[in-house]
């Protein structure tokens, strides 16, 4: 009994796990630098200047954040899509939501890149 | 999403009171929460596009004890989703699905250890006296 399985879902399933592993590593570093080990009693509030100095400290941060943005946007929206897909929407509604997600993803990535451009 | 499907989902959750079902819901709820946070995070940081003054103003608005409490919940969400995601990946890629319950208890211990460290590190941010006066 041959059942045709959409190969697209297989790749999104696979990439959801791979991006997850990647984000695990990246988020731990990101949390440590900007959320956990930023001591306000000695370093003060996080400001434009402190972020710029921080990011300028190594060329690595540039590669890091420009990869981080598309990976996290994919992981978040693909994850939300997986939840929605579980409810088996009617075809037209499903296409509508999917299109909205693609536009939203593009908007988030573009906003993220322009934000980063101003912080580097 | 018809109303019936949602009711079915809730009934499913009530009927399957086991670790697999529990972590499935935890993963979905933290996932939705983190996606919402990603949007708010982008909104706050995107003020950098308008320049330094706008960025400092918006960043200043979210750096206070109230947001520090929310930050603890955020980091808890990140760690739950991260550790449980690792559990899912291990079960999927290495066929460890028969061990998923033991892995759940291991990640639960790691989670509580990480949360103790997190709360200790966030602690100074919970005290208004530690914030610089006038930004």
The domain that holds A48 is classified in CATH as: 1.20.1300.10
Those residues of chain B that have pLDDT short of 70 are 1-3, 133-135
What span, in angstroms and rounded, lies between the C-alpha atoms of A33 and B58?
Answer: 20
Do the interacting molecules here have an ipTM over 0.90?
A: no
Of B34, B38, B118, the CB nearest to A36: B118
Rg (CA), chain B: 19
Band of residue A3 on the pLDDT scale cut at 50, 70, 90: low
Tell me which long-range contacts B27-33 makes (C-beta under 8 A, separation of at least 24): B27/B80, B27/B81, B27/B84, B27/B85, B27/B88, B28/A83, B30/B77, B30/B78, B30/B80, B30/B81, B30/B84, B31/A76, B31/A79, B31/A80, B31/A83, B31/B81, B32/A80, B32/A83, B33/B77
Of A21, A77, A83, the CB nearest to B28: A83
Taking an 8 Å cut-off on Cβ atoms, the answer to whether B89 and A87 are in contact is no
- Residue (of A16, A18, A53) closest to A33 by Cα position: A53
Residue A2 lies in a domain: no
3-class SS at A4?
coil
A55 φ, ψ to 5°? Answer: -70, -25
Taking an 8 Å cut-off on Cβ atoms, the answer to whether A20 and B135 are in contact is no
Domains, chain B, in order of start with CATH, read 3-128 (1.20.1300.10)
3-class SS at A2?
coil
Of A20, A72, A115, the CB nearest to B38: A72
Residue A39 lies in a domain: yes
Taking an 8 Å cut-off on Cβ atoms, the answer to whether B75 and A31 are in contact is yes
Rg (CA), chain A: 18
Residue A49 lies in a domain: yes
Q: How many domains does chain A have?
A: 1
CA distance B3 to chain A (A): 11
**Could you tell me which chain A residue has the CA closest to the CA of B121?**
A36
Q: Looking at residue B2, what is its pLDDT?
A: 55
- Expressed as residue numbers, the domain containing A113 is 10-119
Q: Looking at residue A1, what is its pLDDT?
A: 47
- pLDDT > 90 in chain A, percent: 36
Taking an 8 Å cut-off on Cβ atoms, the answer to whether A111 and B42 are in contact is yes
Residue A75 lies in a domain: yes
Residue A88 lies in a domain: yes
């Amino acid at each position: 009994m041959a059942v045709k399985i959409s190969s697209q879902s297989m790749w999104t399933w696979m990439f959801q796990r791979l991006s997850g592993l990647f984000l695990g590593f990246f988020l731990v570093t990101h949390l440590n630098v900007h959320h956990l080990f930023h001591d306000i009693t000695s370093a003060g509030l996080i400001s434009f200047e402190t972020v710029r100095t921080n990011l300028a400290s190594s060329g690595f941060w540039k590669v890091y954040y420009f990869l981080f943005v598309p990976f996290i946007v994919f992981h978040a929206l693909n994850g939300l899509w997986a939840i929605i897909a579980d409810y088996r929407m009617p075809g037209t509604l499903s296409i509508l939501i999917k299109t909205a997600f693609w536009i939203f993803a593009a908007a988030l990535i573009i906003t993220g890149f322009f934000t980063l451009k101003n912080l580097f | 999403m018809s109303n019936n499907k949602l009711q079915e989902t809730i009934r499913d959750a009530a009927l399957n009171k086991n670790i697999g079902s529990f972590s499935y819901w935890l993963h979905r709820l933290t996932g939705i929460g983190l996606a919402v946070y990603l949007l708010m995070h982008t909104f706050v940081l995107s003020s950098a596009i308008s320049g330094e003054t706008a960025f400092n103003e918006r960043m200043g608005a979210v750096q206070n004890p109230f947001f520090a409490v929310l930050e603890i919940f955020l980091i808890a969400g990140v760690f739950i989703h991260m550790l449980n995601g690792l559990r899912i990946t291990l079960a999927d890629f290495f066929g460890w699905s028969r061990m998923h319950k033991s892995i759940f208890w291991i990640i639960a211990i790691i989670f509580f250890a990480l949360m103790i460290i997190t709360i200790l590190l966030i602690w100074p941010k919970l005290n208004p006296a530690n914030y610089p006066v006038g930004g």
